[in-house]
A = this chain, B = another copy of it.
Amino acid sequence: MPRVVVDVMLKPEILDPQGQAVANALPRLGVTDVSSVRIGRRIEIEFTGQPDLDRAREIADKLLANPVIEDFSVRVAEAGDTAEGNP
């Protein structure tokens, strides 16, 4: 199924307390070489026909992201671009 992926992240200058919480929890797992964790959103949009990047960009701009505080990018998903790949 043709699919578009929209990635939405808080702009770099906006503090992300939930990411900070994960970062702060890492030393207890013995992880000391992580400098930053940022948590955003990944949205997968399936089209019935050809994936339409312009449409997806419009959807992202209106319903998925707040451009004042967030950046987003839109791309057609390639094979393997899925969250199901974990063993």
Contact = CB atoms under 8 A, between A and B. Distances in A.
Interface of A: 1, 7-9, 12, 14-29, 31, 33-49, 52, 55, 57-60, 62-66, 68-74, 82-86
Contacts of A49: 33
A7 to B, nearest CB: 4
A64 B24 contact: no
Contacts of A20: 25, 62-63
Main secondary structure of the interface of A (DSSP, over half): mixed
A66 B10 CA distance: 11
List the 6 closest pairs (A to B, CB-CB), nearest first.
A24-B25, A9-B83, A73-B85, A42-B42, A21-B63, A36-B46
